[in-house]
Amino acid sequence: MTASNPASSSSAAPAPLASVLFVCVHNAGRSQMAAGFLTHLAGDRVEVRSAGSLPGDQVNPAAVAAMREIGVDISAATPKALTTEAVQASDYVITMGCGDACPVFPGKKYLDWSLADPAGKGVEAVRPIRDAIRSRVESLIAEIDAA
């Protein structure tokens, strides 16, 4: 194939349909699981970010284990600090217990997902939180795809 072949120009990945930022306090549990699910389920259709208002030192090992059980690997994820730039670059900002720490900008869609904090809990207690996050992420993908 040559560069002038129209078929070769269609191989470029399309731009993401939306960008999503998940925010929780430590960016170590809920927001990391949500980002893992969105990346896993939507692929490159959606740009995914996560951050925390007071980021922890590492992702919660029980969250990593609970996600691994269902084939989603978040073991390489690291907690990141919430920045104004991350909020500005996102179409959807989804908070999970970060209070008023998240800056608000016009034109963004803000959602607050009330979910239990998996901090300090074992895998058994994290599974229902994981499953609730998956359900909400699936609904979010349907909303983004419909837009």
List the catalytic residues.
Answer: 24, 98, 102
Distances (CA, A) of 85 to 81, 88, 89, 118, 137: 11, 5, 6, 27, 23
Burial 7-46 (b: 16+ CB within 10 A, else e): eeeeeeeeebebbbbbbbbbbbbbbbbbbbbbbbebeebb
DSSP 3-state percent helix, strand, coil across the chain (nearest 5):
40, 15, 45
